[in-house]
Structure 1
Amino acid sequence: MQDSPDLGDRGDAVCVVGAGASGLTAIKNLREQGFAVDCYERETSVGGAWNWRHDRSPVYAGTHLVSSRPLTEFPDFPMPDTWPDYPGHGKVLEYLERYAKHFSLGDDIWYGMEVTEIVPVGDGRWDVTIRSTGGGTTRVQRYAAVVIANGHNWSPVTPEIPGDFIGQVIHANAYKDPARLRNKRILVIGGGNTGCDIAVEAAQHADRVWHSTRRGYWFAPKYVGSRPADQLASERAPSWLRRRRQRRIAADLTRWGMPAPEHTPNERNPVVNGLLPHYVGHGRIEPVPDVARYDGAEVVLADGRRIEPHLVITATGYRPRFDFAAPELLDADEHGRPDLHLHVFARTHPTLAVVGLVQPDSGLFPVAHWQSVAVARWLKLRARDPEKALAVQREESKRPLESWSRRRVVPARRYWFEVGHVDYLQAIESLLVRMEGTK
């Protein structure tokens, strides 16, 4: 690790923000296209969200992948065949550390350095302000491009629930160990993957568990027979066949009192949890509606029922935050949702890109890999032949949103970045072919 980078103009170098999985693959693929890279990581090691020693990590002791190993690994660096189908967070961190070491990515990472501002300065170049997290030292360096890879699961969203509660309320990002669940009554708020995982963990340790959800969801098991379910859905089959398979394995839990989904299994990514129906069906998890208010030791539900949990865990998601980038750089709306082509490319700043800002129905790592390949090749094409790059940009801007994004049903924040990974990767492949065709 180096103490500090050289000051001043970095020429054709690219700045990468963050050394989690998305930042690591961005470094590698940019270097393979001939770019010098400076990656700034506010923590003292790689891993991002998967390194639970980092203060922003949402990982807890029981965290495992919800996508199977073959659909989570980087395409050019497989996980060991001896690893389980769904590795735990410790193995995922080990994998990222191996990946960084194998490709010597640490040579380009500046640890303990936080990006505090990026400003366009003309001709596609950027002034990047970096601050040392140790001593507060600040400096500005100029780069040819900026790739943002700081993740979007670290700034928790806490629901605004009226009233006062004398028990304890924590967000899921503060939950780390099931020991705090034992011999307690637990209310989990939130029906996403994290909320369902924590509800299942609570069912194994707590005295009683309520699970509050605002809307209905489809649930997919991790296995169909002995095969990971996501591998069936990932096969390069016609879209109608993939949809049929999805409908066949997805289930709703309305007969146990959960709200009915307002969408089909194909329109939104399902919650991947085969144990939630098991524990609901065995009475260890009691589905309840939305929370209306707190009232002392009680929680009042939307249907008027009152319950008395000791601990409330709000698994209500995270807000994407790019404090160092003015909202207009990413064409963000009043809710903070960026408007990026393919959830990657800034529409008005061709040398600004975001890697990893997606929620696929499979693993993120291979998607981030191909995103960063596309970014690296785009920047190379723009430097080599700006006119052809502009032609590609104009053509890409005509691509229908529905060809790569899922925004058809519920405009809620949790759905902002959902993609079906097969269709999405085909869209990335189309862009890569188009850029290759400009030679």
Structure 2
Amino acid sequence: MSEKTVCVIGAGPAGLSAARALKRLGIDYDHYERHSDVGGIWDLDNPGTPMYESAHFISSRKTSGFFDFPMPESFPDYPGNRQILAYTRSFAAAYGLRAAIRFGTAVTDVEQDGRAWLVTLDDSTVHRYGAVICATGVTWSPRTPQHPGEFAGEIRHSSTYRSPLEFRGRRVLIVGLGNSGADIACDAAANAQAALVSIRRGYHLIPKHIFGIPSDELANGGPQIPLWLERPFFRGILRLIQGDLTKYGLPKPDHKLFESHPLLNSQLIHYLQHGDVAIRPDIAALEGSRVRFTDGSTEEVDLILYATGYDWSIPYAQRYFHWDEGRPDLYLSVFNREHHNLFGLGYIEINSSAYTLFDHISNIVAQYLHDQRHNRSRAAEFDRLIATDRPRLDGGIDFLASARHRAYVDARAYHRYLGTLRKRMDWDDLTPGRFDAIRSSGEVRA
């Protein structure tokens, strides 16, 4: 392989987005995927995926998807995992991305060699590249907390969960109330003998529809209003629609609306209102077949399912990233500040759909790599930005002081800054039709 060639690792949404951007600019690349097909976590057959049968997008159809490749109108407001997988595979087919992908091939090591990178595959062959784009995702290393005591039942992480039928006849405790935890709690409410959710803090619960409109469409479709006005406006709407959620056992949030990752769910309140699921505080100890909580109460439980998130990692290149509380320090959440031409695409938390964001940042990555051969002075200017520029991308929101929110950005602030950066560097923006030259077809078959 040539140092002019780029290595793309992972054929999920982020890796496919990077491949399309490179292909548009005629940049040579090799693409590796350890699974047998594209789709990343959305493929339930992909070993280790955290996906489950009832999973749906938490961003709506019209606000999600790849740039200039909309989801079909036939899709519901919030597509299910099979539809997302079909859509992602249609995207790969439409832009001829499959041909460059070497399936069933894992990368085991990335090693710096001067300004180049040596990439070792699982067949022990070593290939030399000028740049490496790590796009293998953040949901492959489950995080399972430890609690004192011994438990006589079954303990699992939510990454192993697939079907609601697993809950039949069982007393289930879900630990954690992120979006996956809330979804799985609803599955348990409808199928388990008893369904409990243990949480440490309160969250703002946002329904997927407000006044019949997907919540993110409502938030993004109208005129942009300042945060000081937007927050009380939406808080008032939520109070009007939902009432006081503390009467169902949910703790009052200890933070303002928008200061944590949005919890979008319309079913959980229904099950809480009907007593099919109950809220419990944090676990204090495990006592045989019972779980004791911090308020002194106990419950008999058969299964504890930890919906407690994931540790971010890039195992084949971990040593080349600077980690702070489990999050890599990357310029614009993509560019390695210390090591030239090593990128981490997809290592970001954002309060919006990530697909279109991947396209916009992949566009910048590709133009930067293109400049390294065709406009070296502009590439050198961007090198200086990678090393020194630290823009505020929180949009004025004081996000929770947690490890999860350390890499969190506000979508509006992020896109605004990318626009400013493109103008400064005189790089082209994504506009409709930008990828037409490499597109063959685009019918999505769900």
Q: Tell me if TM exceeds 0.5.
A: yes
Deviates more, 1:255-264 or 1:337-346: 255-264
Q: 2:233 and 2:261 mapped to 1: Cα distance?
A: 13
* Counterpart contact for 1:246–1:266, Cα < 8 Å: no
Deviation at 1:216, TM superposition (A): 1.6
Identify the residue that residue 258 of structure 1 maps to in structure 2.
250
Corresponding residue of 1:134: none
Counterpart code for 2:144: T
Instruction: Give runs of aligned pairs for residues 40-59 of structure 1, distance below 5 A.
Output: 40-59=32-51
2:31 pairs, out of 14, 29, 39, with 39
Distance 1:261 1:374 in 2: 38
Tell me, what secondary structure is at the counterpart of 2:71?
coil
Q: Does 1:186 align with 2:186?
A: no
Separation of aligned partners in 2, 1:141 and 1:62: 40
The answer to whether residue 420 in structure 2 is matched with residue 420 in structure 1 is: no
Residue 409 to residue 74, structure 1, CA distance change in 2 (3 Å): closer
Specify the alignment match of 1:346 in structure 2. 336
Partner residue, 1:6: none
Q: Higher mean Cα deviation, 14-23 or 271-280?
A: 271-280
Query: In structure 1, what is the equivalent of residue 224 of structure 2?
Result: 237
Structure 2 residue corresponding to 1:312, chosen from 304, 311, 315:
304
What corresponds to 1:210 in structure 2? 196
Q: Distance in 2 between matches of 1:429 and 1:397?
A: 19
The alpha-carbon deviation at position 396 of structure 1 amounts to 6.2
CA distance in structure 1 between the aligned counterparts of 2:183 and 2:395, rounded to whole angstroms: 26
Which stretch of structure 1 is more off in the superposition, 214-223 or 347-356?
A: 347-356
Residue ranges of structure 1 left out of the alignment (5+ in a row)? 1-8, 132-136
SS of the equivalent of 2:151 reads coil
Superposed displacement of residue 10, structure 1: 2.3
Partner secondary structure for residue 75 of structure 1? coil
* Structure with more relative contact order (C-alpha pairs < 8 Å, separation 6 or more): 2
1:169 corresponds to which residue?
155
2:107 corresponds in structure 1 to 115
Asked whether the equivalents of residues 404 and 427 of structure 1 are also in contact (C-alpha less than 8 Å), the reply is no
In 2: Cα distance, 1:268 partner to 1:161 partner = 25
- Secondary structure of the 2:328 match is coil
Closer/same/farther in 2, CA of residues 250 and 382 from structure 1, 3 Å limit: farther
After superposition, the Cα gap between the structure-2 partners of 1:35 and 1:356, relative to the gap in structure 1 and judged at 3 Å, is same
Comparing 399-408 with 79-88, greater Cα deviation is found at 399-408
After superposition, the Cα gap between the structure-2 partners of 1:408 and 1:398, relative to the gap in structure 1 and judged at 3 Å, is: farther
Q: In structure 2, what is the Cα distance between the partners aligned to 1:272 and 1:130?
A: 39
- Confirm or deny: 8 A CA contact 2:393 2:409 kept in the other structure: no
Moved more, 224-233 or 419-428: 419-428
TM normalised by structure 1 equals: 0.91
Report the number of matched residues. 422
Q: Which residue of 1 aligns with 2:323?
A: 332
- Which secondary structure state, in structure 1, belongs to the residue aligned with residue 197 of structure 2? strand
**1:97 partner amino acid:** R
Change in CA separation of 1:226 and 1:409 when aligned onto 2, cut-off 3 Å = closer
Deviation string 1:346-383 (CA, Å, 9 cap, x unpaired) is 11123111111122222221111112111111212233
Write out per-residue CA displacement over residues 59-85 of structure 1, whole angstroms, 9 at most, x where no aligned residue.
111011111011211122111111111
2:114 is equivalent to residue 128 of structure 1: no
Matching residue of 2:441: none
Number of the residue aligned with 2:400 = 410
Give the match's secondary structure for 2:53.
coil
- Residue 235 of structure 2 is matched in structure 1 by 247
Paired with 1:41 and 1:249, the residues of 2 have a C-alpha distance of 44
Q: CA separation of 1:434/1:263 partners in 2, compared to 1, >3 Å: closer, same or farther?
A: same
Aligned-partner SS, 1:403: coil
Q: Distance in 2 between matches of 1:248 and 1:382?
A: 51
CA contact (8 A) 1:269 1:420 kept: no
Counterpart residue type for residue 408 of structure 2: E
Q: CA deviation at 1:395?
A: 4.5
Q: Give the residue type in structure 2 aligned to 1:237.
A: Q
Is the CA contact 1:116–1:324 (under 8 Å) kept in the aligned structure 2?
yes
Query: 1:268, 1:406 within 8 Å by CA — same for their partners in 2?
Result: no
Work out which of the residue numbers 367, 391, 398 in structure 2 matches 1:377: 367
User: Secondary structure of the residue that 2:74 maps to in structure 1?
Assistant: coil
Match of 1:101 among 83, 93, 102: 93
Name the SS for the 2:18 alignment partner.
Answer: helix
Q: Residues of 2 paired with 1:42 and 1:421: CA distance?
A: 30
> Could you tell me which of 56, 74, 79 is aligned with 1:82?
74
Distance in 1, matches of 2:9 and 2:316, equals 10
Structure 1 pair 326–270 and aligned structure 2 pair: CA distance change class (3 A): closer
- 1:292 Cα deviation after fit: 1.1
Partners of 2:379 and 2:21 lie apart in 1 by 19
Measured against aligned partners, the alpha-carbon deviations of 1:11-69 in whole angstroms (never above 9, x if no partner) come to: 31110110011111110101112211111111111111000101121111101111101
Scaled by the length of structure 2, what TM-score is found?
0.90
Distance (Å, rounded) in 2 between the aligned partners of 1:407 and 1:10: 44
The aligned amino acid for 2:235 is: R
Distance 1:67 1:281, change over 3 A: same
Kindly provide the CA deviation profile for residues 272-305 of structure 1, in whole angstroms up to 9, marking residues without a partner as x: 1122122112222111100111110000111111
Aligned counterparts, 1:293-312, within 5 A: 293-312=285-304
Q: Secondary structure at the match of 2:7?
A: strand
Aligned mates of 1:330, 1:249 — CA distance in 2 = 42
CA separation of 1:388/1:68 partners in 2, compared to 1, >3 Å: closer, same or farther?
Answer: same
| Aligned mates of 2:418, 2:45 — CA distance in 1 | 33
The change in CA–CA distance for 1:407 and 1:122 in structure 2 (over 3 A counts) is: farther
In structure 1, give the amino acid aligned to 2:121: I
- Is 1:284 matched up with 2:272? no
Q: Give how far 1:429 is off.
A: 2.1
CA distances 1:249-293 after superposition (whole Å, capped 9, x unpaired): 456733332222221112222201122122112222111100111
Deviation for aligned residue 1:406:
8.6
Distance 1:431 1:210 in 2: 47
Structure 2 gap segments, 5+ residues each = 429-446
d(CA) in 1 for partners of 2:195, 2:268: 12
- The corresponding residue for 2:436 is none
For the 8 Å contact 1:220–1:249, the answer to whether it is kept is no
